Amino acid sequence: MLYLDEKVKFIIWKIREHFYNDGIYLIGGFVRDLFLGRKNNDLDFIIYPFDFIKLQEFSKVINGKIFFLDEERKYIRINVGIDDEEYSLDFTPPIENNLIKEIIRRDFTINTITIFLDNFKIIDPLRGIKDLLEGNINVCTSKSLIEDPLRILRAFRFSSNLGFKINHQTQKEISKNAIYLNKVKGERIHNEIYKILKGPFTSYIWLKMHELKVLKVILPELSNLENIPWSPPHSTNPLIHTFSSLGILEFLYYYLDEIFEEYSDKIREHLNEKVYDEFTRRELIKIAVLLHDIGKEKYFIDEKNKVHYYGHENLGSLMIENIAERWRLSGKEKDLLKKLVKYHLYPAFIFRDNGEKLKIVNKMKEDTISLILLFLADHLSIHKNIEVLDFAKSVIRIYLEKKDLKPILSGNEIMEIFNLKPSPLIGYLKDKLLMAQQKGIVKSKEEAIDYLEKIMKDESFREKDN
């Protein structure tokens, strides 16, 4: 039995009451999710005849806000709030006033199931219910992907988020038409990639995108890694390593409580931080994993025929500039991705050399947890030494303990006390002071002054000052 919550019942009752003489049909993702028992606040309606004045009146009845999404196609949206929830109601007339033509011009059969609101009869000409029950993603027609190539990525999104399989014929259509993604605006691709990554397990999705020639269109920097040779400790090419790393990261996300124990709530809070629209660090770190090794395209083979990837982290960080421009990333997204890729090896050096974990915290600051998760995904896809988890947890513990600590002396106080002019050295002294506070060496203002005096007497500092 299909279940409608009370707020949706209210919306549908109001629509039936207002458009009682018209043909109005509920279609699309809401109906799909209704069958799957999933919540969806976006409702799509086909309405005939299309009467803008009547839609305006309806918007007033339910205290909604009405606007055109596409004036030429008469595609209208009404946003309405009921209690603490927001709903989007989209209305469009059937193409050529033909309901069946309107239904089959949709993207996938699972999104074509239609309910006539007059008598709640189900209309299903493309057997969408069958595909829904069998977990199939099936294009409506051979033209579906050409009419809107972004539907190619939507197929992978539905596969990721619903756990459905893309059927064989649709895979052939995707492979044949992947090149048309070049015509899609970067910001639309950007949004779909985030939506794909909202799925809990997506590494196999990216592998399938590569196999179907989609990856080389939307992210050639990653696809090209298939042709890069590998060297120990790697046992696969960088592309397969990247997909494996993403799988490890998603495993860490899934078992967050079991792996990180008392730190899991703070990590979850960090992951839920918004970075773009409704998307979060959780998805952005996945993108960082996908991009962390793209700089390996500039590899080097020595006289012993050994492959090296010297400086790939710096090159990869620079390559993100082009990707950011292509995908229309925000400044925050771009800067964070560049930072994570540039420093993704840094924790590995500290771990290998038993170095000072505090250095990671001071370098990455509020991005410490993001980097540690990227490091773990990269490291565990190559090495199976579980002790690295203890290292990661200790870095996170240090970060959580020290993140709110401020230097006892401000920059202005340092300049005044030591008669210094504004310069990068003031920041250097503040960093040294903060690290001393973090280690418990300095606990008061007097100790801070004494500590900085000793640093300023040091020969290496005088060289910096010059």
Residue 243 sits in the same domain as residue 143: no
Tell how strand 121-123 and strand 114-116 pair up.
Answer: antiparallel
| Residue partners of 432: CB distance under 8 A and separation at least 6 | 451, 452, 455
What residue type is 47 in one-letter code? Answer: I
CATH number at residue 152: 1.10.110.30
* Gap between the Cα atoms of 212 and 201, Å rounded: 19
Q: Examine residue 164 and state whether it is found in any structural domain, yes or no.
A: yes
Same domain membership, residue 388 and residue 323: yes
Q: Which two tokens stand for residue 52?
A: 């803008």
pLDDT for position 457: 82
DSSP-H helix ranges across 108-183 = 128-134, 144-147, 150-162, 168-177
Residue 223 lies in a domain: no
Which one of 134, 164, 196 terminates a domain? Answer: 134
Query: In this predicted structure, what is the pLDDT of residue 222?
Result: 97
271 sits in the region (left: phi over 0; alpha: psi -120 to 50; else beta) called: alpha
Q: Say which amino acid occupies 371.
A: L
Distance (Å, whole) CA 87 – CA 350: 49
pLDDT of residue 464: 53
Residues 138-179: tens digit of each pLDDT: 999 999 999 999 999 999 999 999 999 999 999 999 999 999
Same domain, 323 and 273: yes
Whether the link from the prior residue into 49 is cis, omega within 30° of 0, is yes
Q: Which CATH number belongs to the domain containing residue 252 in this structure?
A: 1.10.3210
**CB contact burial 224-261 (16+ within 10 A = b; e otherwise):** bbeebebeeebeeebbbbbbbbbbbbbbbbeebeebbe
Q: With CA atoms as reference, report the closest residue to 153 among 119, 114, 202.
A: 202
**398 and 422 co-located in one domain:** no
Q: Out of 196, 218, 240, pick the residue that ends a domain.
A: 218
> What does the pLDDT read at residue 460?
59
**For position 466, what pLDDT does the model report?**
47
Model-level pTM?
Answer: 0.88
Total tally of structural domains belonging to the chain: 4
Is 12 in the same domain as 87? yes
Q: Are residues 236 and 379 in the same domain?
A: yes
Domain shared by 23 and 130, yes or no: yes
Q: What is the DSSP letter of 93?
A: P
Whether residue 247 lies inside any domain: the answer is yes
Q: Is 160 exposed, middle or buried (0-12, 13-18, 19+ CB in 10 A)?
A: buried
Question: Which residue segment(s) compose the domain that 453 sits in?
Answer: 411-465
Helix (H, G, I), strand (E, B) or coil at 410: coil
* Distance, CA of 169 to CA of 58 (rounded, Å): 42
CA quadruple 414, 416, 417, 419: dihedral sign: positive
Tokens of 384: 């199976």
Which tens digits make up the pLDDT trace of 196-224? 999 999 999 999 999 999 999 999 999 99
pLDDT of residue 405: 81
Are 254 and 312 found together in one domain?
A: yes
> Is residue 2 located within the same domain as residue 68?
yes
Percent helix, strand and coil across the chain, each to the nearest 5:
60, 10, 30
Give mean pLDDT in consecutive 10-residue pieces for the chain, a chain of 466 residues: 86 94 94 95 94 94 92 90 94 92 95 96 97 97 96 98 96 98 96 96 97 98 92 83 98 97 97 94 98 90 76 96 97 98 97 92 95 98 91 96 85 92 90 85 90 80 53
Transcribe 183-218 into DSSP letters.
GS-HHHHHHHHHHHHTSS--HHHHHHHHHTT-HHHH
- Out of 218, 244, 266, a domain closes at 218
Closest C-alpha among 170, 162, 160 to residue 108: 170
